[in-house]
Structure 1
Amino acid sequence: MTEPSPELPFAALKAPTLDDIETLARVAFASLPSRFTAPCEGLVIRVEDFPDDETLDEMECESEYDLLGLFRGAGLTQREHLAETGDQPNLVWLYRRPIIDFWADGEETLADIVTHVLVHEIGHHFGFSDEDMEEIEGRASRNASPED
């Protein structure tokens, strides 16, 4: 048995940073069809390593790795009251470490996982069906323009 070589191509690889995940999310969002992104005007995408303790408790997570992303904001029916109440804009939180952990255990690309989490966090909040979201993800992965 030979010793592993420190010169292996992956030996110098580093985990994707918060900025890397945010860039993947922005590229994914830009590739989504406009019928999906239109209700998300002003959407803010934030990336953190893990959800905070309050979020973990609220979502009844057993581990900090249980949650890949979260949507916080107003639904379409609540949107008209945003200006009156001064509520925050719609936010999607993506959690880097759980996403990387999920990626390391599977066969999907990191970009596909980020797209999936982003689409599902937005889609469930705005009432898209799982079938709608599968179609939207498929279009995004084929680099469809936002006008599709």
Structure 2
Amino acid sequence: MPVEIEPDDFDRLVESALDELPDEIAALVSNVVVQVEADAPAADPDLLGIYDGVALTDRAANHSGMLPDRILVFRRNLVEMCDSLDELRDEVRITVVHEIAHHFGIGEERLHALGLG
């Protein structure tokens, strides 16, 4: 049974996940916007989140002046996979950390090895 949560309360879970990042990691996140979308894209409807941008490890020296990268968190998929608010809070945190890891150039294989995939 999916968790029932208001969109604003879900947004606060995402904000909390960002606030829980260690200061030394948060300070390195550069030019990234985190947004919540109700649904994943039709092309990949099972996604929980996605990093849309150029990883720090792949940026050219002249990357400045570009639009911010985006991390999208897909509310409906996360809510539907969780049976409790505590489980949802954990899954949101894992999803946010997973997508931020992509910002740092960490790939899926390594994330799975770390238990974040």
TM-score (norm 2): 0.74
Query: Which contiguous aligned blocks of 4+ residues in structure 1 show a shift greater than 6 angstroms?
Result: none
Write out per-residue CA displacement over residues 49-87 of structure 1, whole angstroms, 9 at most, x where no aligned residue.
11233xx2xxxx3xx2x100001122114164332xx43
Give the corresponding residue for 2:89: 111
State the Cα RMSD in Å.
2.8
C-alpha distance 17-107 of structure 1, shift in aligned 2 (>3 A)? closer
Unpaired segments of 5 or more residues in structure 1? 1-13, 138-148
Is 1:130 matched with 2:111? yes
Give the fraction of aligned pairs with identical amino acids, expressed as a percent: 28
State the shift of 1:30 in Å.
Answer: 1.2
Distance of 1:17 and 1:125 partners within structure 2: 28
Give the corresponding residue for 1:75: 55
**Mapping of 1:13-24 within 5 angstroms?**
15-24=4-13
C-alpha distance 130-51 of structure 1, shift in aligned 2 (>3 A)? closer
Higher Cα Rg: structure 1 or 2? 1
State the shift of 1:42 in Å.
Answer: 3.7
Match of residue 25, structure 2, among 30, 33, 36: 36
TM-score (norm 1): 0.61
**Mapping of 1:28-107 within 5 angstroms?**
28-53=17-42, 56=43, 61=44, 64=45, 66-76=46-56, 77-78=58-59, 80-83=61-64, 86-104=65-83
Checking the alignment, whether the CA contact within 8 Å between 1:120 and 1:133 is kept in structure 2 is no
Distance of 2:40 and 2:9 partners within structure 1: 18
Unpaired segments of 5 or more residues in structure 2? none
Q: Secondary structure at the match of 1:82?
A: coil
Task: Give the letter aligned to residue 12 of structure 2.
Answer: T
Q: Secondary structure at the match of 1:94?
A: strand
Q: Give the number of the structure whose residues are more often strand, by fraction.
A: 2
State the shift of 1:48 in Å.
Answer: 0.9
